[in-house]
Chain A
Amino acid sequence: MTRPTVINNVRIIDPSQNLDETGTIVIEDGRIAAAGSGARNQGVPDGAEVVDGSGLVAAPGLVDARVFVGEPGAEHRETIESASRAAAAGGITSFIMMPDTDPVIDDIALVEYVLKTARDKALVHVHPAAALTKGLAGTEMTEFGLLREAGAVAFTNGRHAMHDAQVLRRAMTYAREFSAVIALETRDKHLGAGGVMNEGLLASWLGLSGTPREAEVIPLERDLRLATLTRAAYHAAQISVPESADAMRVARSRGANATCGISINHLTLNENDIGEYRTFFKLSPPLRGEDDRTAMVQALADGTIDIIVSSHDPQDVDTKRLPFAEAADGAIGLETMLAAALRLHHSSEVSLMRLFDAMSTRPAKIFGLDAGTLRSGAVADLVLIDLDEPWIAAKDGFVSRSKNTPFEDARFTGRAVQTYVAGKRVHAAQR
């Protein structure tokens, strides 16, 4: 049993209770015993460690709903253990692991393997998402019922979009009875074929083939119609253009049980960052224009976009040190999601309440995780943040096994100072 902890004089921001006040957090037996101004001067449990939280913000530990890990199959890029350390360093206390591994997580034995490995080695809570279709091939649905019982929290085709509407309709219909959330990428197989960056002037000058926004919006609209038809719980994993946010609004007004996410990259970077073929900025969906980015920040602020994900996707030199068009998509992000999101706070574009909602309370709710709150009795997953500490994301400072960050040497203001998982401190920044 971990030692009790008392955090004093800390600004507590908990979107699950719409709470923003300075007070005390008492952690006992791995759970929140009390949190808020009312918990002040309530005495300290025997043997408790007392932390001075002056000048810091405490929020529910972040929940990252989209993380790729290399285990099993590509442990040189990232293991469950190394990803969990990176997560802890970034204030993330739970993440959902994508099934795009080798072998693909499409069977209960693999779900059990992930959970066992996480239990033995991970610093944070790791929840496997299972493949929606066998081998992610898009043709035959997996055992939603058995996989749910084994511990899969969502069903997704990972990086692979679903192309067959008939298969998707049946999967949604079948998933509904098992209360399984289906989380999908939307990317048209043909319309976006060959595209390696946002379609537009910049791509034309760089001589790179473009991915049009319609390649995202058309399949999204199809999926949303199927979600309405089947009444399935649908989550668009990553949207990148305002037309997609519009589609979400329309679908919800028609009664779809639909939510969506956006990667932190698409909220804080744009296509200009690609510069001279910098492959760490090669993502899927591609980074869009600055107007798109600002519109998406607005859609996040007003709640149209539910959640922010890191889309942590470790790649190595073999897959990134290549000509731009040939390089793999993806960027790591566990350690920088919080700091990058705080840019939206410092620019006064998105409130802290909404940011923590989007990075903790909402994703926990969408995927049914026991997280995202500081209510008394809740599991004591929390992050202490210094909102104003300046730091530079130096390459050799990363914990992740892979270094493909689009924020290399970026200047940030604010970071996770301490991270607690079930009451245990799993990260303490050197200050």
Chain B
Amino acid sequence: MDSFPHRHLLGIKGLTEPEITYLLDKADAAVNISRQREKKTSTLRGLTQINLFFEASTRTQSSFELAGKRLGADVMNMSVGNSSVKKGETLIDTAMTLNAMHPDVLVVRHSSAGAAALLAQKVSCAVVNAGDGQHEHPTQALLDALTIRRAKGKLSRIIVAICGDVLHSRVARSNILLLNAMGARVRVVAPATLLPNGIAQMGAEVYHSMEEGLKDADVVMMLRLQRERMSGAFVPSVREYFRYFGLDAEKLKAAKEDALVMHPGPMNRGVEIASEIADGPQSVIEQQVEMGVAVRMAVMETLLVSQNQGPRA
């Protein structure tokens, strides 16, 4: 495959195995750019990238910003408060306003599922979904895949256990889609209150015990549990959650000896993951951050350069 047929990156859904491999290969090459002393290229010189974040984000926004800058684009950050009364209206109004400024790519994060897709219908540039509600976060799944592929050499037939608040997680949905597309075996491990309805039909084996769910896993991917969800609404308390679902040395023993420990961040130490594990030898949490920049460079370059040679979809 030598081109990428999509105009936007709105989700992992709809991407084929060769398309994902194409992005990962490109990202692999982009890793080296960030490791050089001279990190700036001219690939996107003269192009404008606008980061439109309706939801607060530190790492994703800065990762996209760095990715754009390292490719030579002009990057503008728009942080829009989420307090606007009518979000639907605000979203489209903001999009139309920005569209009039002729950006080449819009990176969007929004608290509502489907927001990026809605925006993509209204603007004339490429749109990258940086997280829409509890729906998808495709660049996170790509950076996770890149991290795994670089460590394990492959994605097919590996066992990935995604643990924690799957119900509210866009990261989990994108990862389930991507890992299935690449032939990995996906498990989810969580209390039943933190799993979406029909999870067993979404391409994941369901476990309610860490010991069983982590058995022989190659990758243990922890998810963040939001504070407001840990005091009785979905789980009774931090102490009980950590006791049964927090990743500590004891529970990690069930996984393969060389299993990777991942977390999309930001972590709640002592809630879903023990500090000794987050900082331990199996943790690749920092590599995930590094791969994040590379993956976003690859995505931006693919949408803005490569696709111009190929047919648009």
Contact = CB atoms under 8 A, between A and B. Distances in A.
A146 to B, nearest CB: 5
Given A133-B232, A140-B232, A145 B192 contact: no
Contacts of B233: 140-141, 167, 170
B208 A143 contact: no
A144 B232 CA distance: 11
A142 B236 contact: yes
A143 B191 CA distance: 12
* B: interface residue count bin: 10 to 19
B243 interface: yes
A146 B193 CA distance: 17
Interface in B143-174: none
Interface string A137-151: 001111111100000
B15 interface: no
B122 interface: no
Q: Which secondary structure characterizes the binding site on chain A?
A: helix
Nearest to B190: A177
B111 interface: no
A421 to B, nearest CB: 33
A140 B236 contact: yes
B239 A146 contact: yes
A170 B234 contact: yes
B240 interface: yes
Contacts of B234: 170, 174
B81 to A, nearest CB: 29
Contacts of A141: 232-233, 235-236
Interface in B187-242: 191-193, 208-209, 231-237, 239-240
Contacts of B231: 140
A141 B235 CA distance: 7
A141 B233 CA distance: 7
Interface in A140-178: 140-146, 167, 170, 173-174, 176-177
A134 interface: yes
Given A145-B243, A145-B244, A177 B192 contact: yes
A146 B192 contact: no
A170 B231 CA distance: 13
Contacts of A176: 192
Contacts, number: 45
A139 B236 CA distance: 11
A167 B235 CA distance: 11
A141 B240 CA distance: 11
Interface in A195-219: none
B193 A174 contact: yes
Contacts of B193: 170, 173-174
Chain B CB within 10 Å, residue with most, of A142, A167, A177 = A177
B235 A174 contact: yes
Contacts of B209: 177
Contact of A144 (B208, B236, B239): B236
A233 to B, nearest CB: 14
A160 to B, nearest CB: 16
B166 to A, nearest CB: 14
A230 B244 CA distance: 20
Interface in B241-278: 243-244
Contact of B240 (A134, A139, A143): A143
A143 B192 contact: no
B192 A139 contact: no
Contacts of A139: 232
Contacts of A170: 193, 233-234
Contacts of B192: 173-174, 176-177, 230
Contacts of B237: 143
| Most chain A beta carbons < 10 A, residue from B208, B235, B240 | B240
Interface in A370-413: none
Nearest to B236: A143
A230 B195 CA distance: 12
A134 B208 CA distance: 23
Contacts of B239: 143, 146
Nearest to A169: B193
A146 B243 contact: yes
A146 B243 CA distance: 8
A176 B192 CA distance: 8
A313 B209 CA distance: 39
A134 B232 contact: yes
A141 B208 CA distance: 18
A49 to B, nearest CB: 47
A140 B229 CA distance: 10
A146 B240 contact: yes
Contacts of A134: 232
A359 to B, nearest CB: 33
18 contacts: A134-B232, A139-B232, A140-B232, A140-B233, A140-B236, A142-B232, A143-B237, A144-B240, A145-B236, A145-B240, A145-B244, A167-B233, A170-B233, A170-B234, A173-B192, A173-B193, A174-B193, A177-B191
Interface of A: 133-134, 139-146, 167, 170, 173-174, 176-177, 230
The 7 closest A-B pairs by CB, nearest first: A140-B232, A143-B240, A143-B236, A177-B208, A173-B192, A174-B193, A170-B193
Given A141-B235, A143-B237, 19 more contacts: A133-B232, A139-B232, A140-B231, A140-B236, A141-B232, A142-B232, A142-B236, A143-B236, A143-B239, A143-B240, A144-B240, A145-B243, A145-B244, A146-B240, A170-B233, A170-B234, A173-B191, A173-B193, A177-B208
